[in-house]
């Protein structure tokens, strides 16, 4: 009877855990999720003990900041292990709030405005009148800008940061993008007044954000789109955002008609018109942003943000 040699056993064991260049994507993703889970558990305990008497608004802001920092710190740890930087996972700090972010901000505002104008033509939306005056206009604009930049940073980096990068290394970019976007859409199921169209549109937006990441090489354009779309809903136009109507909105807008057209209690992002506009916007950007810039080849161990030219679907199996 033949016995396997120690070297052959080590070779088999190595092939289970390691690919040609590094630890297999599945194991890396598992380590990342374990780190994130431990940090979330610890942060929840800390918030419970230290901020048990804080109001809901303060707790919301604290959790947004802590959640983002947890994913950022876990990504930094994995970058140290893998010989990469956080920029490799879609968040290069040298591009922070620069041209691509503001392009995304413009896209988000145009998308929302086009959606509401279309709803108005269909008789499902009314812009109303300005209800804020004087210093309150600037105060609430700044408050919601701060809130929604936190929301956009957290949601985009959590959904399309390290996890997407690593999953794409294992199964290819678009299968990973579809899985992450489906989860992103499902994660909204607990929102007030959310319905099936709203959940589908959240997932579709997630997939569109993956497309922008794929073509621009980083998350700053999706962050800009996400931030200003939410800001425009809550502050500028004063419509429901994921089913919530918050104080301090500039216009006292209103909607009416069938929920599938107006979005109902979930807001305009749950309208079928939003579905159509996202698809149209995707087509426009497919013609504008032609070069693939993300992710970087697996053979490049210490990536430089923005150097993603002519990359197809790299795999580290």
| pLDDT tens per residue, range 56-110 | 888 889 999 999 999 999 999 999 999 999 999 999 999 999 999 999 999 999 9
pLDDT digits (tens, 9 = 90+) for 155-197: 999 999 999 999 999 999 999 999 999 999 998 887 777 788 9
Write down the pTM of the prediction.
0.87
Give the CA angle between residues 249, 242, 284 to the nearest 5°: 90
d(CA 178, CA 160) in angstroms, rounded, equals 11
Q: How many helices and strands, by DSSP H and E, does the chain display?
A: 11, 2
Where do we find the tokens 């995304």? 104
The answer to whether residue 211 scores a pLDDT higher than 80 is yes
- The beta strands (E) that lie in the chain are given as 125-126, 254-255
Phi-psi domain of 293 (left: phi exceeds 0; alpha: psi -120 through 50; beta: other): alpha
CA distances 232 to 224, 249, 250, Å, are 12, 9, 10
CA distances 315 to 157, 241, 312, Å, are 21, 38, 10
The answer to whether residue 214 scores a pLDDT higher than 50 is yes
Neighbours of 19 (CB within 10 A): 18
Average pLDDT, the chain: 86
């Amino acid at each position: 009877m033949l016995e396997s040699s120690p070297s052959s056993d080590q070779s088999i064991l190595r092939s289970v855990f390691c690919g040609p260049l590094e630890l297999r994507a599945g194991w890396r993703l598992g380590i990342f999720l374990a780190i994130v889970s431990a940090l979330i558990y610890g942060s929840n305990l800390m918030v419970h003990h230290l901020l048990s008497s804080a109001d809901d608004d303060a707790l919301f802001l604290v959790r947004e900041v802590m959640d983002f920092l947890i994913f950022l710190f876990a990504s930094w740890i994995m970058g140290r292990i893998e010989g990469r930087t956080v920029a490799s996972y879609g968040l290069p700090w040298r591009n922070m709030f620069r041209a691509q972010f503001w392009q995304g901000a413009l896209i988000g505002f145009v998308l929302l405005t086009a959606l509401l104008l279309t709803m108005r033509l269909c008789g499902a939306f009314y812009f109303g009148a300005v209800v804020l005056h004087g210093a309150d206009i600037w105060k609430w604009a700044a408050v919601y800008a701060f809130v929604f930049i936190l929301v956009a940073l957290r949601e985009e980096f959590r959904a399309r940061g390290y996890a997407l990068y690593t999953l794409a290394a294992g199964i290819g970019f678009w299968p990973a993008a579809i899985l992450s976007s489906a989860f992103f859409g499902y994660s909204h199921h607990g929102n007030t007044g959310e319905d099936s169209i709203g959940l589908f549109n959240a997932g579709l937006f997630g997939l569109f954000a993956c497309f922008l990441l794929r073509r621009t090489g980083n998350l700053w354009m999706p962050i800009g789109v996400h931030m200003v779309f939410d800001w425009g809903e809550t502050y500028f136009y004063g419509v429901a955002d994921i089913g919530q109507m918050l104080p301090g909105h500039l216009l006292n807008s209103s909607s009416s008609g069938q929920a599938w057209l107006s979005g109902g209690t979930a807001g305009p992002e749950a309208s079928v018109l939003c579905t159509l506009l996202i698809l149209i916007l995707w087509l426009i950007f497919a013609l504008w942003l032609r070069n693939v810039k993300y992710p970087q080849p697996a053979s490049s161990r210490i990536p430089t943000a923005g150097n993603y030219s002519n990359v197809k679907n790299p795999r580290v199996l």
